[in-house]
Each structure stands twice: as C-alpha cells, then as structure tokens.
C-alpha cells in the first residue's frame, strides 16, 4: 500500500550530506528529521512550494547513497548492500509520504499543478534505483549466497524479496529493454495523473438541483439537510443540491421515492468521466496499450499474466476460476432478488421493469418487507462518534491497545483526529493513528488506509513505530444532526481500520516486510475480517446508541439487523466479482480502442444481469486505472475473502473475543507482516489450508 515502496523500503546507515541539501533553505520542513512527537509531519509548516525542492534534494541524497553502495569494494552482504536500501533517502521518503497522501486527500488546484512536475521526478528517482545494473548485481550476489551467509530466517526473506522485486521492476533486463521500460513507465505515470484529474473534476462538476420539496419524499432528514447546505454553499438558498459524492448519491438511490431523481443520479454516476473534456475513455485505451507493451518488455504474454505471477494466485486462470465459482451462484441469487423487487413494483402498480437505478430503492423495500428493517432507522444509532467508540473498544478487547486523543498534534485539516495508540498493560507507545472522514472537493472518493511512517529500522539505526491514517467520505454533521453512518459506512470504518491494525501492530524488524507490505491478494484479509465485529450483538450493545435519546439499540432491531446479514449478497457479490473479471479481461488485451463496447462485451460474456452494472465502470475505476495498485488485481478482494471467511469461522467457533484465538491472530497475522510466507502464517493460525467453501457459506450461497 505504500506507493513509494519501490524507491525507499527501509533504513539507511551511511552518513552522506549532499552539499546541495546543506545549501537549501532550512525552513523547508522535509529537509531534516521532524522534531515533532513521534515524528508526525509538521503540517502547519508545510507549503506546496516545499515539495519540489525537497524532492530534488532527496534525489540528490539518494544518488550519493546509491553511489556509496555500488562502489563499495567489500563483498556484497546483508549489512553493506541490503540494509542500506531500507532507507535510501530519508528526505525523499519524508516528502513522498506526505506528497502521496495529499495527492489523494488534499489535492487543491495549487497542489495538483505542482504534482504534474513532481510525479515525473519521483518516477525518475524510482527508475534510477530499480534499474541500476550495478546495484542489482550486488543484490543478486547476496541472493545467490544467502544460504552461505549467517542470516536469520527473516533476513533471508528480506534478501529474497529485494531480489524478486528488483527483477519484477526490470533490473535484469538488457540496457535496450530498460530504456523502453523507462519510457513506458513515464508515459503511464502521466496517464494516471490525467485519469485522476479528470475523475476529480468530473465528480465535482456534476450536480442535480431539486426545486420542489415534493421531489425529496422518502429521503432521510440528514440527507435533505445536507443537500440544503450544499445549495446554500453554491448560492442557491431555498433549493437542494445533490452531488456524486457517496454521502449525497447513495441516500438518493436508496430512499428517494422520485424515480426520475434516482435515474438522474444513477446515470450521472455511471457516466462519470465518460464525455467531454474530462473523458477518461481515451486515457484508458492508452493505459491498456502501454501496459501490454510493458508486459512484453518484461517477458510476459500480457499484463494480467505479469501481475498475477507475483502473488498467491500465480496465473489469471487461477484468479478467474475463483471468481467464477463465486460469480455464478451470485448471479443466480441476484435473479431471485430482482424477482422479489419486481413483485413489489407490480403490487404497487408501477408498470415498469426494475432498472439499475431501482435496485437500491426496491432492495430496501424488500428488506423492510422480509425483515421489517428500516436502514434509515438503524442509521440513527450509528453516529460517527459512537461507531468510533465501538471500534476502539473492540480493538482494546481483542488486541490490548487503546486510543488516546492527541489534541495538540499537527494536522493538515482541523477536522482530522489524531490518536496515540498505547499498550493497555504497559502504557508503551505502539503507533500514531489519524483519521479524516468527511468529503471535500480536494479529496478523491472512497475510503482507504495509508501510512506516513512504517515500523522498522531507520537511518539512525533506531526502530520506530508507525504513523497510520484512515480516510473516508462520510456524511458531515448537518445542523443539530451529527454525522450518521449507513450500515455500509459502519462496515467501511471497521474495514479500513483492519488495514490500519496490520500496520499499527506490526513487529517486523524491517520496513520492507512490515505492516501491509505483503502480497496484494493477502492484504485484504485483515481488513475484511475486522468488519465482522461491527455487527455482532455484543459489540452493537456497546456502541449503537440513538443520537437523540442515547438509547441502546434494542434487541429487536439488533436481531433484524443480523437476520438480514446475508440479504442482497447476490447484488453485492455480482457487482464486485463482475468488476474483478472486467479488470482481468483488460489485463489480457493488447489494446482496447472502444472502452464502452469492450465493457459491454465483457458483461455479455460473463452474463452480467442487466439490472446490475460493474461495481466501478471503467472511466471511474480508480483502483485499476488511477495507478497500478490493483491493476489485474481487483480480484484480490474476493481471494482474500476466502481467507477471511475461513478465519472468521474459527472466531465463531471459539468465541469472538476468545483470548487465545485473538492472541494467535495478532501474533501470526497482524504482527508478522511478510516475515514468512502468507500461506504458512495463515495455516499456523487456522490449522489447515484455506477452505474455499467458507466464502460460499459466508455469502449464504451454500
């Protein structure tokens, strides 16, 4: 998850002091180690104008330290070759961690303009390291002699990981192919910038203005208040403005009685960044073509083959096979769900066939009919403050850590919250955790976890604890109504904190194998299993309180909530697995000239129901086109769910707060990082190979 991991993976032990760095303006906060508590970036001192000078200074520092490694005449070993790579440039690592965070969460027009200059510089810095022939030969020499050197098992794994990652980045290529790879990578990075800029601009550009209050029928009070505030911000007092940001869009789709309003929002979202000056269609075509070129340079038949070879799946066929095992029963279930919805439409004299913009709305009606569950009523018990309390209490019971507010800590926005994570028994500092939960124009959609500082050994030889953050886009408080979360948003909060826990609790000795620096199709297990505690009756009673009365959620409502737990899984799984299959199909193509036609072709081939679209349509599928993070790897959510489902069954058998089980999960999964093979760690916790049937049981398909 660390976007800079291929450039700086750990801690450096040389003492190079570049003259240019010495000459830099010492007011630039990136140019020296932070003096703040726990090394939190001093946000109040950081200016947009600081980034480029710091990046350039960091590149110079990297170049000097790289020279020191490659010109070392001693035989290559762990201490003189591998360990220095753990933090090749402290300056570059500091500035890059904040840069990539701002790019997603605080991309103001001024920052975005600077980023167009910064990203090519950062990519060039990465290429200098990843494709350095002399450096790779030293790494290879350590790799070849790893069984003869006196290495610990963890050090040996670090050596193997560096060798594999450098080979995957093209270090073993001929000079001619390296030059081709650099060119392709540079072009791809520019396309990623265009894709993300187009998506943000298109999202902010689209609105639906409501003039008649009658058209708001069915919408929650909080959604109406939020739309009124948005209208006032835009100088449209007395009206209501809805946007494509999730807190505005989703309540319309789920609750608005006005079918035309639902259709307008749905079509606005599913055609996002598809037309006009912000269209991502030509960008996608170029990305697909260049990725295929990159795969050919690296010796693979296609991009999907290259990406799956690096993780647990090993081949696109294996990934596709898993997806189809889940997709086909999910589609079958979705047909049953649509039939239930159509029955309601017919009974109400609707005289129309269920369309995609009807799905959320009529699914909610079916849910009320089957379980007598009103999600809007449930939401009144899920204020953000209460949900965070439940999250913190659950974490303390399971893993023995508590969250202590750091009210005076540096922040990049006032609404950001910062916590000191401490051991409940010893009071020892474990990590810093930050959260940023509300939408704004400078923040991309969705929710995610990243880290500003990894656990591991740093340039001074000292072991540091991590600084981790979660970002979301939840409804803001409106008037006297606090931020109220939907069921999905509660799940998202626990999910992303599950990612955070893998970094917070990491005890791996080196940054390259700490926290979430694990195989992509393993990393989602920790986040997905953490979702389960959110809706356990014992946990709900500890935090779910009505925002007006303070009343604990009654047993009757808890029972309804849990009884409906497997409801609508046909839809949820179909849209997710469909998107994952689409992603793999893109990775297998030499080129895609007509993105819309290709998307439709894939939908027809796999049998996507006409009432459901892919979870993300291509022009806003940021996971796979905003960078290479999940490209030909979106399937990993479902791959990880096999592990998650199997692991959760053990907690269900032993008790959701069983100390022995929680301690084992903490030790073998959350603390271990990539110190051992993921399958070995999983089997050590679970006691057997992953059971693929567990996922079908979890989804209610078996």
What are the residue numbers of the active site? 496
Residue 142 token pair: 């350590």
End-to-end distance of the chain based on CA atoms, in angstroms?
33
CA atoms of 569 and 451, how far apart (whole Å): 32
CA atoms of 299 and 384, how far apart (whole Å): 49
In 367-476, DSSP assigns E strands to: 401-405, 417-423, 429-436, 448-453, 456-457, 463-464, 467-471
Q: By the 8 A CB rule, do 533 and 656 touch?
A: yes
CA atoms of 654 and 648, how far apart (whole Å): 10
Selection from 114, 272, 261 nearest residue 205 by Cα: 272
Q: Calculate the alpha carbon distances from 330 to 188, 528, 651 in Å.
A: 35, 19, 25
Q: By the 8 A CB rule, do 595 and 284 touch?
A: yes
CA atoms of 505 and 455, how far apart (whole Å): 9
CA atoms of 348 and 327, how far apart (whole Å): 31
- Per residue, the 3-state secondary structure of 325-350, as one string, reads HHHHHHHHHHHHHHHHHHHHHHHCCC
CA atoms of 173 and 183, how far apart (whole Å): 14
CA 264, 267, 273 angle in degrees (round to 5)?
Answer: 125
Residue 286 token pair: 């170029």
DSSP H or E segment with residue 207:
strand 207-210
Q: What share of the chain is helix, strand, coil (3-state, %, to 5)?
A: 60, 5, 35
Cβ neighbours of residue 241 closer than 8 Å, sequence gap 6 or more: 207, 208, 209, 210, 227, 230, 231, 234
DSSP H or E segment with residue 101:
helix 90-105
Q: By the 8 A CB rule, do 61 and 21 touch?
A: yes
Q: Calculate the alpha carbon distances from 325 to 313, 515, 638 in Å.
A: 15, 30, 11
CA atoms of 334 and 149, how far apart (whole Å): 57
Selection from 700, 701, 426 nearest residue 562 by Cα: 700
Q: By the 8 A CB rule, do 564 and 377 touch?
A: no
240 sits in the region (left: phi over 0; alpha: psi -120 to 50; else beta) called beta
CA atoms of 223 and 254, how far apart (whole Å): 11
CA atoms of 205 and 350, how far apart (whole Å): 33
Task: Report DSSP letters for 76-92, one per residue.
Answer: P-IIIIIGGGGGS-HHH
Do the bridges between strand 417-423 and strand 401-405 make them parallel or antiparallel, or are there none, so unpaired?
Answer: antiparallel
CA atoms of 576 and 398, how far apart (whole Å): 30
Burial of 427 (0-12, 13-18, 19+ CB in 10 A): exposed
CA atoms of 10 and 390, how far apart (whole Å): 34
């Amino acid at each position: 998850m660390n976007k800079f991991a291929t450039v700086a993976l750990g801690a450096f032990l040389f003492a190079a002091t570049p003259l240019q760095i010495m000459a830099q303006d010492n007011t630039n906060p990136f140019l020296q180690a932070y003096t703040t508590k726990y090394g939190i970036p001093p946000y109040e001192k950081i200016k947009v104008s600081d980034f480029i000078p710091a990046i350039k200074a960091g590149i110079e520092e990297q170049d000097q330290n790289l020279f020191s490694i490659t010109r070392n005449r001693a035989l290559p070993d762990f201490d003189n070759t591998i360990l220095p790579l753990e933090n090749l440039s402290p300056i570059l690592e500091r500035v890059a961690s904040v840069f990539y965070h701002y790019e997603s969460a605080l991309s103001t027009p001024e920052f975005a303009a600077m980023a167009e200059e910064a990203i090519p510089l950062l990519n060039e810095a990465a290429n200098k390291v990843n494709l350095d022939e002399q450096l790779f030969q030293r790494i290879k020499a350590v790799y070849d002699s790893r069984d003869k050197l006196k290495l610990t098992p963890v050090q040996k794994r670090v050596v193997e990981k560096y060798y594999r990652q450098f080979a995957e980045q093209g270090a073993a290529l001929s000079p001619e192919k390296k030059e081709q790879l650099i060119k392709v990578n540079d072009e791809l990075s520019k396309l990623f910038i265009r894709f993300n800029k187009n998506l943000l601009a298109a999202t902010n550009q689209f609105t639906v203005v409501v003039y008649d209050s009658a058209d708001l029928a069915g919408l929650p009070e909080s959604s109406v208040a939020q739309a009124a505030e948005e209208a006032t911000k835009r100088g449209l007092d007395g009206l209501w403005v809805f946007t494509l940001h999730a807190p505005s869009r989703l309540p319309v789709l789920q609750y608005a009685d006005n079918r035309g309003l639902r259709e307008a929002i749905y079509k606005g979202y599913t055609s996002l960044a598809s037309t006009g000056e912000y269209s991502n269609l030509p960008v996608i075509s170029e990305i697909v073509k260049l990725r295929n070129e990159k795969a050919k340079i690296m010796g693979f038949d296609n991009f999907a083959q290259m990406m799956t070879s690096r993780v647990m799946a090993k081949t696109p066929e294996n990934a596709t096979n898993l997806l189809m095992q889940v997709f086909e029963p999910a589609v079958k279930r979705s047909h049953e769900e649509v039939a239930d919805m159509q029955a309601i439409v017919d009974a109400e004299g609707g005289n129309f066939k269920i369309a995609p913009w009807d799905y959320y709305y009529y699914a909610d009606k079916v849910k009320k009919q089957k379980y007598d569950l009103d999600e809007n009523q449930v939401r009144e018990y899920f204020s953000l403050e209460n949900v965070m309390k439940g999250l913190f209490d659950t974490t303390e019971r399971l893993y023995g850590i508590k969250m202590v507010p750091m009210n005076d800590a540096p922040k990049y926005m006032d609404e950001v919250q910062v916590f000191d994570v401490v051991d409940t028994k010893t009071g020892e500092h474990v990590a810093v955790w930050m959260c940023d939960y509300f939408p704004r124009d400078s923040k991309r959609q969705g929710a995610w976890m990243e880290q500003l500082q990894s656990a591991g050994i740093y340039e001074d030889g000292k072991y540091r604890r991590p600084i981790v953050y979660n970002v979301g886009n939840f409804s803001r408080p409106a008037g006297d109504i606090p931020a109220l979360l939907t069921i999905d948003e509660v799940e998202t909060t626990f999910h992303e904190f599950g990612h955070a826990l893998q970094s917070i609790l990491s005890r791996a000795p080196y940054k390259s194998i700490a926290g979430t620096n694990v195989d992509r199709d393993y990393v989602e297990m920790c986040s997905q299993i953490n979702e389960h505690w959110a809706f356990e009756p014992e946990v709900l009673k500890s935090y779910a309180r009505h925002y007006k009365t303070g009343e604990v959620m009654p047993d009757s409502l808890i029972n309804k909530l849990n009884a409906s737990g497997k409801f609508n899984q046909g839809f949820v799984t179909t849209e997710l697995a469909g998107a994952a299959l689409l992603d793999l199909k893109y990775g297998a193509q030499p080129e895609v000239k007509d993105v819309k036609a290709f998307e439709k072709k894939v939908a027809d081939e796999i049998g996507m129901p006409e009432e459901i679209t892919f979870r993300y349509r291509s022009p806003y599928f940021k996971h796979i086109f905003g960078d290479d993070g999940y490209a030909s790897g979106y399937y990993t959510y479902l791959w990880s769910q096999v592990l998650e489902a199997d692991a959760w069954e053990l907690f269900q058998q032993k008790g959701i707060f069983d100390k022995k089980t929680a301690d084992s999960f903490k030790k073998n999964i959350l603390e271990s990082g990539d110190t051992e093979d993921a399958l070995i760690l999983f089997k050590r916790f679970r006691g057997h190979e992953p059971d693929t049937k567990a996922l079908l049981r979890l989804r209610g398909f078996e």
